[in-house]
Structure 1
């Protein structure tokens, strides 16, 4: 589902970009990807995360996907004004139904989008499907105590049924063959981590 205006404002803010710089530095320190890797970001928003990730990881191809066509347009404009244009593509699409073949990407990036999906399990299944065996899932996710507390519940637009906390999120990742790597950070509010898709038996 699309974010509403308060969350869109935050996602485009300087504060959010600082947080993403910290997260991407953690991702890079935890697990590198091959030179020239193919990367997909689900819920790319205005493309700010794409710029940060691309500067630090140097992928060969970067696809950013978002369900909000207005955000895709903003991201495409950002690409045109930066060196992202050489290898980035921003497309309108649904993270629950990714328009890519199985094993298409070396890495998938998620800056807190899966908790927006009505069927978040399907979203994680799609991440696992489009990753090649040995591919990397870089993610930040937040849990209901952060976005569904009495204050934010009335400010932010999120699905309200079948939400996940840490045990459920980690169990579904595991069921999709996404092995959480050591060194992840988790509290009752959020998780920041890296997972690797298990090789096929």
Structure 2
């Protein structure tokens, strides 16, 4: 599901980039990646998160996907600037149907995209599918009290049915063989965490 203009404006703002920088610092402190890793970002937006993540982790390959073709074009232009030294590729694709084989990536990154998916469980399953065993899922997600409150509910475009809170999201990770590492941050509004692909129970 594409974001609407207020959320697009926020996603491209300095405030959002500062938040992503702080999140990436937490990701790196929690579970570093070896240099040259293959990384997939779902919902890459304008590519700002890709630049921040790439500077912190120095991946060998970085693929960013988004359903919004306008955002993909913006991210591709960024590839000629901040990401010019990285092996980065941005393309239009759906996070519920990732166009990759199983076990293709060492890491996946999600800066608050899964709650936009109509079938969010399938999005989690697809992330797990394309991660290699031992691969890392870095994520930030927000819960309905933040985006579906009386004010934001009318301002922002989100699916209205089958929304997840903390227990449902964490259960979906476990179901797909993603083990949440200690030290994650969670409230009734959001979760920031790192999970490792082990095996489905």
Taking structure 2 as the reference length, the TM-score comes to: 0.98
Q: Give a deviation string over 1:68-105, Cα, whole Å, max 9, x none.
A: 00000000001112344531000100000000000000
Residue 35 of structure 1: SS of its match in structure 2?
Answer: coil
CA–CA distance in structure 2, aligned partners of residues 6 and 200 of structure 1:
38
For structure 1, which segment, 76-85 or 57-66, has the greater mean C-alpha deviation from structure 2 after superposition? 76-85
> Could you tell me which residue of structure 2 aligns to residue 20 of structure 1?
20
1:57 correspondence with 2:57: yes
Q: Give a deviation string over 1:81-135, Cα, whole Å, max 9, x none.
A: 2344531000100000000000000000000000000000000000000000000
Structure 1 segments, 4+ long, off by >6 Å, are: none
Aligned-pair CA distance for 1:188:
0.2
> Could you tell me which residue of structure 1 aligns to residue 141 of structure 2?
141
1:5 correspondence with 2:5: yes
Taking structure 1 as the reference length, the TM-score comes to: 0.98
Q: Give a deviation string over 1:113-171, Cα, whole Å, max 9, x none.
A: 00000000000000000000000000000000000000000000000000000000000
Q: Is the contact between residue 134 and residue 199 of structure 1 (CA under 8 Å) also seen in structure 2?
A: no
Q: Is the contact between residue 43 and residue 67 of structure 1 (CA under 8 Å) also seen in structure 2?
A: yes
Residue 17 of structure 2: SS of its match in structure 1?
Answer: helix
> Could you tell me which residue of structure 1 aligns to residue 179 of structure 2?
179
Matches of residues 62-141 of structure 1 in structure 2 within 5 Å? 62-84=62-84, 86-141=86-141
Q: Is the contact between residue 133 and residue 199 of structure 1 (CA under 8 Å) also seen in structure 2?
A: yes
CA change 1:199–1:175 in 2 (3 A) is: closer
CA–CA distance in structure 1, aligned partners of residues 79 and 88 of structure 2:
7
Give 5+ residue unaligned stretches, structure 1: none
